[in-house]
Structure 1
Amino acid sequence: MSLKFERDTTVTGAVKDAVVNHAVNKGGIVGSTATAIADAAHGNLPGTSGKHPISAVVGTAITGGRQNAGTKGYLSAYLQQLEDHPLRTKMLTAGTMAGSQELLSSWLAKDRNKHGNYFTSRVPKMAAYGALVSAPLGHFLIWVLQKIFSGRTSLRAKILQILFSNMVIAPIQNSVYLVAMALIAGAKTFRQVKATVRVSFWKVMRVSWITSPICLAFAQKFLPEHAWVPFFNLVSFVIGTYINTVTKKERLAALRKKHFGGGGPGGGRSSAVGPGSTISGGPRPDDYPPIGPNPPY
């Protein structure tokens, strides 16, 4: 039995090698993939054992390719960029997240513009805000925070750092955020901007005061200082996407109720229904001020 098993195993291995060699000789994507799998199967791929060659190849491709095999891949490269080019990396990160958040929340809420697209005019505006306003401001304020508490690792210092963040940094960032959102939404006068800030400021601050201590305590314990701002942006992305989605859904529900519930002229009927429909005879505005949180720092 043992001899038969070994012989069958040998034959099976020979067949597999033949199939791999045939695929390699074909070249192209199939050939390069087969080559990578063969290398992984023989333990020639750094950081892998050879027991699961296909998953090893897939994982290596996802984390930066063969040149990063055996390393931490994209995460390591990103953290290195944060150290080497902190402001530029934070600007690209914040801009991408802000634009993606607006696009994702529009898709989740089924909130289209008058042309039926989820990619509204707010998406590039939010991306510009994230890259040109939020990231530089957050970079500077976090630098001030870390400078004040540099070298102070006691429990008292960490608590004071959290209080300083919530009482000084968060109000500054939230105020700038609401001013920017009012301008993006189409505010033309100082009175309109002031009204947006007055109505939304304490709502945004409550979100910050809930999330800020938890996030800052986590960053103090587990993250290098240059990774703080991207981590805070990630938390804000998740919370902001949720709140922005809920806000959009509530707004659309209110428009439908006004339109179909007799709130509009003519019994609430409009000339069109659908993704590009009009409300009460006029186009649906693409932009509106959200009630969402600024990055908590």
Structure 2
Amino acid sequence: MSTSTSKTVAPAIGGASSSFATGNPLLRRYIAALEANPLRTKQLTSGILSALAEVLAGHIAGTNPAHTHSKATTSSGSPMDIVTSTLRTIGLDARAAKMFIYGSLVSAPLNHHMVGALQRAFAGRTTPRDRILQIIVSQLTVTVASSAVYLASMAVVNGARSSAAVLAVLKAGLWRMLQISWVTSPLAIAFAQRFLPLEMWEPSFTLLRFVLGTYFNTVAKRKQVALARQQKRKEELKKSAAGGAGGSKAVGDEDIQAKAAEKK
């Protein structure tokens, strides 16, 4: 996603000491996994967090299924129906599965390889000018590409099936996402350079990407809810207008018939 560029400069621009010894055993194991199998670890992390962001965004935006069907399914459904209903109730539905696929098979490999290419291009270039240039290049390449892929993937996950629909989503949201990314990424890098040891950069930026991903997803879902409500109101107004016109016509017909009867 858009904040993936933050890690672009991590190996080249170290701030705090890289001999950081954390007291958290899970964090130590995660850092060790990153060093041993970087791509696979990033794929699993990105997939899980992308699915979790989808679930949280659904709850925050109010788009997750309500608990109305869970009791009926529990009392009369099969064990598989009960499991499926429970998963849907907490938000683990087809969209969450698609977001896991996006995070593990699209986002993580894309960012891993693009960041690696940029790191190789700037290998050994550690002057302040080179560091600034690397940040600028990363913002104009990795950030733009990852943001566009994220929005396009979100459009497909949310039901877009044509290139026109995907392009509409990109036109509506890409510039806003880039604006936020171009502010948050340099600030995150500056904070990491000043306060974080090198091995904590990837976990920290992963957390930041998760927070921003949840935010963007929530905003998108709330817009969808608002559009759905507007569409529903329009349909109701059309129905009421049609019903009113029909009622007026019926009253007019009755008046004509009454007058005709009086003449007779």
For residue 47 of structure 2, what is the aligned residue in structure 1?
95
* Gapped regions of structure 2 (runs ≥ 5): 1-21, 70-87, 242-264
For residue 202 of structure 1, what is the aligned residue in structure 2?
175
Answer whether contact 1:102 1:241 (CA < 8 A) is retained: yes
* Counterpart selection for 1:85 from 37, 40, 45: 37
Query: In 2, distance between residues paired with 1:227 and 1:172?
Result: 25
Answer whether contact 1:109 1:249 (CA < 8 A) is retained: yes
- TM-score, normalization by structure 1: 0.58
Supply the RMSD in Å over aligned alpha carbons.
Answer: 2.8
Larger relative contact order (C-alpha < 8 A, sep ≥ 6)? 2
1:171 corresponds to 2:144: yes
Residue aligned with 1:108, SS: helix
Give 2:105's aligned amino acid. Answer: L
What's the % identity of the aligned pairs? 37
Answer whether contact 2:50 2:213 (CA < 8 A) is retained: no
1:35-64 CA distance string (max 9 Å, x none):
xxxxxxxxxxxxxxxxxxxxxxxxxxxxxx
Cα distance change, pair 249–87 in 1 and its aligned pair in 2 (3 A) = same
Cα distance change, pair 109–187 in 1 and its aligned pair in 2 (3 A) = closer
Cα distance change, pair 264–223 in 1 and its aligned pair in 2 (3 A) = farther
When structure 1 is superposed on structure 2, of 214-223 and 198-207 the one drifting more is 214-223
- TM-score, normalization by structure 2: 0.65
Query: In 1, distance between residues paired with 2:160 and 2:232?
Result: 25
Query: In 1, distance between residues paired with 2:93 and 2:237?
Result: 25
Residue 89 (structure 1) shift:
0.4
Residue 163 (structure 1) shift:
0.5
Cα distance change, pair 249–77 in 1 and its aligned pair in 2 (3 A) = same
> Superposed, which structure 2 residues align to 1:1-297 within 5 Å?
72-113=24-65, 117=89, 118-221=91-194, 222-224=196-198, 228-256=201-229, 258-259=231-232, 263-267=236-240
Query: In 2, distance between residues paired with 1:191 and 1:245?
Result: 23
Cα distance change, pair 264–92 in 1 and its aligned pair in 2 (3 A) = farther
Give 2:125's aligned amino acid. Answer: R
Give 2:34's aligned amino acid. Answer: L
1:169-226 CA distance string (max 9 Å, x none):
11111222222222222322323222322232212211211111112333445343x7
Query: In 2, distance between residues paired with 1:257 and 1:193?
Result: 21
Q: How many residues align?
A: 198
Query: In 2, distance between residues paired with 1:229 and 1:250?
Result: 31
Give 2:35's aligned amino acid. Answer: E
Query: In 2, distance between residues paired with 1:191 and 1:260?
Result: 26
Cα distance change, pair 140–228 in 1 and its aligned pair in 2 (3 A) = farther
For residue 251 of structure 2, what is the aligned residue in structure 1?
none
* Gapped regions of structure 1 (runs ≥ 5): 1-69, 269-297
Structure holding more helix per residue: 2
Residue 261 (structure 1) shift:
7.9
Query: In 2, distance between residues paired with 1:200 and 1:266?
Result: 33
Residue aligned with 1:103, SS: helix
Cα distance change, pair 109–197 in 1 and its aligned pair in 2 (3 A) = closer
Give 2:171's aligned amino acid. Answer: R
